Amino acid sequence: MIPQWIKKLDEIISNWCVAHSHNIADLRWYARLRVPKPMFGYMDGAADSEVTLARNQADFARYDLLPRYLINVQNIDTSTTVMGEKIDFPIVCAPTGMSRLFNNDGELAVCAAAAEAGTVYSLSTMSTHSIEEVASHTTGVKWFQLYPFKDRALVSELIERARTAGYKGLCLTIDVPVAGNRERDLRTGMAIPPKLTLSSWFSFFLHPLWSIKYLLSDEFQLANVIHKAPVSGDSATTLVGYLNEQFDPTISWEDAAEMLKLWDGPFALKGICCVEDAIKAADLGATAVILSNHGGRQLDHSISPITLLPEVVSAVGDRVEIIVDGGIRRGTDVIKALALGATACMVGRPYLFGLGAGGKKGVAKALSILRNEFSRDMALSGCRSVEEINLGLIRENR
């Protein structure tokens, strides 16, 4: 049981961090101050030299906006529809694993903030609150993200549990046949469950609120798979070790087709990094493709989603919805993606920075920042609705 004075002190600090955050970069700064180094490194880091991580953001600068003026923009409608669900603005909360590492409320804080913001929350297979617990926490629209475990019975079970719990869409992540080389995690001593090691003890010491709350809370577990693929509290392992032990490197397009058939509902393939796979996903009957390189956390030097987007739109834009996941930090990023043909965008790190900085209020602030920027930038671009954002609004710079 966490003492009330700890909760109150944490609330005061969280409120201050949220109040003084004016953009996503501010939330990242405060998350870095509030979360121990191993956990922040897991949130913020990527594979190898982290080239892809940097490109995901930088490649948005390849495009200039061509605003239109002398248009009445007093009323701006940011709403849209994605995978059959109307949302208040075209930003979906991406699935992110083990959110309790950043704040004790973890996925419950994120799903509540997403519901209040009027958008979709995608729950990760690797969550620290279960499918059922998250489903009962809010009435907001939720998707379930599925990893291909070697235990195919577990995969079928997860799909059935998500359907029974009322999740509206299934996202199959296809870009983790093996775990990426995340060197920040190696340097900081990141393990699951978190353990006090020679490389991490000083960081835990410098973050007493996080450490006390973690120690006085329930044991860390991956709630959806604890009965078949638990993490051991007695012998911590690296995340890479766990993923390579549990995930199936033999998964094929035939397996994806079986999962789509088993789900029998809105279905997205997440991790598309080439036109060939986008075409295969469309041929499969997917509702959406999610252009994503896993936030740069898998194969370094892979193409950024915004760079790939025009090619995928040209190939399959009339057959599937296209969601861009990676590098979104500003409202103008969302406008550029939609102008190039995306249906919506996904964000992971932005709301995790908010979670680390201020719990549920921090997540709400992250979503509010992005929505307000998007609405303002629509007005400044002369767009009164999402439907008016089109290719004429954008040009690749020279």
State the catalytic residues: 294
Say how many C-beta atoms besides its own lie within 10 A of residue 287's C-beta: 18
Strand 169-173 relative to strand 142-146: parallel, antiparallel, unpaired? parallel
Q: Are 374 and 335 spatial neighbours (Cβ–Cβ below 8 Å)?
A: yes
Output b/e per residue, 85-101; b: 16+ Cβ within 10 A.
Answer: bebebbbbbbbbbbbbb
Alpha helices in 168-272 (DSSP H): 183-188, 201-206, 208-215, 239-246, 253-263
Q: Both tokens of residue 183?
A: 């060197």
Tokens of 251: 């998964």
Contact in structure between 167 and 143 (CB atoms under 8 Å): yes
Q: Which two tokens mark 201?
A: 């003890």
> 316: helix, coil or strand?
helix
Q: How far is CA 173 from the centre of its chain?
A: 12
- CA neighbours within 13 Å on the CB side: how many for 26? 16
Regarding beta strands 394-396 and 121-124, do their DSSP bridges make them parallel or antiparallel, or are they unpaired? unpaired
In sequence order, what E strands does the chain have? 63-65, 80-82, 85-87, 91-93, 121-124, 142-146, 169-173, 267-272, 288-292, 321-325, 344-347, 394-396
Task: Calculate the CA dihedral of residues 104, 108, 111, 113 and round it to 10 degrees.
Answer: -60
Two tokens at 147? 């990893």
CA angle, 101 then 107 then 113, to 5°: 125
d(CA 228, CA 383): 50
